[in-house]
Amino acid sequence: MVQQIEWADGSGDKIYISANEFSGNQQVAVSSDPNTGAARSKVVTFTAGNVSQTLTVQQAAGGGGNLSDYVQDGLVLHLDGKTGKTGNTSWESVVGNVLFTNNGATFNADHIYFDGTDDYLSNTSFATPLNSTGTIEICFEREGTGTRVLYMPKTANALAFGSVGGVLNWSNGTNRTTYDTLPMKGVASVNVNRAIQNGEAMTAHGNTYMSGRSTATTYIGRRSNGSYYLGKIYSIRIYNRALTEAEILQNHAVDNIRFNLGLNL
């Protein structure tokens, strides 16, 4: 699990230092909050008992919250809440030239807001990878309960992501699995090998069928027969391969920084 230390100077500026564990000489990832993109240097002192060690941290521009900091290998869809929005009409993927058309959702500076009644985005051409091979990751802040579908593909047995009574459901085909209750805010990643939310492994609890797939349209924020999502979506990433645990944790850390989630990863 990635550990994170938050350090603030007298001006209120903050540095987040992330590493698998803090011991000995090692390389750490750093970022600023908010992420202004300015390069800076900070001196941080760690003290344990009578032992004190000073670490000078050089923060590069962007510092861990850039698009390039996400795992790139196998990334076929990357909808980012800070980029790719054209007016209030469409949301374009960072990769692959995939465009989702907006149908009522509200575009904000770093997220898309869905009212839970009739808001959604749609695409008729994107071929979502199968649940047996791919990975889906969604960074969100949900409201309410009930059945809420965040991503429903048009392709049979492809990756899907929804919440039924707050419990994560993924896929809409043969590998359909329910997991633990989703947090109200955070990021969750699911593939055939693992499910992780906010840096913690989730437990599988059995199978269910998340019906309502359209053979013509991929939806964000609904399925073909409703179940409209209520809340914010910051980011959606889909890979054509199963990410490792380390890769998922890397992406969670980037989301945490990029969207200022304040998670204790």
For the stretch 219-228, pLDDT in tens is: 999 998 889 9
Q: Say if 263 falls within a structural domain.
A: no
Whole-number pLDDT of residue 51: 58
Residues 35 and 63 sit within 8 Å (Cβ to Cβ): yes
| 74 and 52 both lie in a single domain | no
Is pLDDT above 90 for 108?
yes
In a domain, residue 265? The reply is no
Q: How many domains, the chain?
A: 2
**Same domain, residue pair 48 and 175:** no
Rounded CA-CA distance 46/53 in Å is 5
User: Do 166 and 83 lie in a common domain?
Assistant: yes
- Do 91 and 204 lie in one domain? The reply is yes
Lowest mean pLDDT among 13-22, 63-72, 249-258: 13-22
What is the pTM assigned to this prediction?
A: 0.76
For 48, the domain range is 3-59
In a domain, 244, yes or no: yes
Q: Tell whether 231 and 157 lie within a shared domain.
A: yes
CATH of the domain at 172: 2.60.120.200
Q: Where does a domain end: 59, 77, 101? A: 59
Identify the H or E element spanning 35.
Answer: none
DSSP characters over 178-205: EEEEPPSEEEEEEESS-EEETTEEPPP-
The residue length of the chain stands at: 265
Both 53 and 71 in one domain: the answer is no
Q: End of a domain among 36, 59, 82? A: 59
Query: Could you tell me if 216 and 175 lie in one domain?
Result: yes
Q: Which of 37, 59, 81 is the last residue of a domain?
A: 59
Most confident by average pLDDT, 80-89, 145-154, 163-172: 80-89
Decide if 31 is inside a domain: yes
Same domain, 17 and 105: no
Q: What angle do CA 211, 215, 218 make, to 5 degrees?
A: 80
